[in-house]
Amino acid sequence: MSDALRTTVLNITTGSAETVTDLTRDCADFLTRVADGRDGLLNVFVPHATAGVAVLETGAGSDHDLLAALHDLLPADDRWRHRHGSPGHGRDHVLPAIVPPHATLPVLGGSLELGTWQSVCLVDTNVDNPDRKVRLSFLG
């Protein structure tokens, strides 16, 4: 593997409830290990059909607001054609069309370049699968 591309996989347990999990510290720690002060790009990718990556404010209620908005847009009921798993699980398979499974973010001087209130988050509405992988890749 080239020194220009470094990658790792995080194993995240989201539990049995819909969650927004802040990954910002994990991203910063990864960049501390691999970026060596360089500029580049951090790609965050969730290799799951029922989870996504969002950049948003956390801790002030926005994470709960996002889950509420997703519940309004994608109700957990029997309208979905995709019908395995818990009731309404088909909505989880539509989630990545709204909250994409990836984000590419700027890295300047080895540090993630986020706005003051921005955090990198795993969004998981699938209560049937509590074990998630998140791939972090730095290109610089």
Task: List pLDDT tens digits, range 61-82.
Answer: 999 999 999 999 999 888 888 8
The predicted structure's pLDDT at residue 98: 96
Place of tokens 């009731």: 87
Q: Where are the alpha helices (DSSP H) in 1-140?
A: 24-34, 62-73, 90-98
Contact 57, 119 (CB under 8 A): yes
CATH superfamily of 5-139: YjbQ-like (2.60.120.460)
Strand, helix or coil for residue 28: helix
% of the chain exceeding 90 in pLDDT: 81
Output the average pLDDT for the chain: 94
pLDDT at 3 > cutoff 80: no
Q: Kindly tell me if the per-residue pLDDT of 124 is higher than 90.
A: yes
Adjacent-strand bridge partners of 22: 121
**What pLDDT does residue 2 have?**
60
Q: How far is C-alpha 117 from the geometric centre of its chain's CA atoms?
A: 16
Banded model confidence at residue 24, pLDDT cuts 50, 70, 90: very high
Other beta carbons within 10 angstroms of residue 129's beta carbon come to 16
Instruction: To the nearest 10°, report the CA torsion of 140, 36, 101, 51.
Output: 170
pTM, full prediction: 0.93
DSSP state of 74: S
What would the two tokens of residue 29 be? 């720690």
Q: Give the number of other Cβ atoms within 10 Å of residue 70's Cβ.
A: 22
Instruction: Determine the average pLDDT of the residues in 20-34.
Output: 98
